[in-house]
Structure 1
């Protein structure tokens, strides 16, 4: 339970930092490189392929019976 709270705190804190930097870049004429770096870094993280799985697991899913989409075959 405590791990979940900490994880959500970190996610919300970093999300708030990202939004602060984006809004500051858009609204404040003297926004600097720090805001740009935070905004670009957060945007770059959104491009990570977070739905990747190991090849063996993907192959098991590909061979799964067609009765249920995404079913995992246990070997």
Structure 2
């Protein structure tokens, strides 16, 4: 997906953590392939991308679960 973003463009990814880091218990996404903050950040060359947001965000309203949120701007 990142290769399709033009210079100055934005890449936005959201995934659901399969294991809740606060409890260590499986989430509803446990059997799904999801994006993680670590894997997304590792796949973006820092010389070509600015990470604006790269963090896990708990979903207290929706119950147990954590969203991995990545927002990156292509700089070259």
Q: Kindly indicate whether structure 1 or structure 2 has the higher relative contact order, using CA contacts under 8 Å at least 6 residues apart.
A: 2
- Kindly indicate which of the two structures has a greater share of residues assigned to helix: 1
TM-score higher than 0.5: no
Larger radius of gyration: 1
- Kindly indicate which of the two structures has a greater share of residues assigned to strand: 2
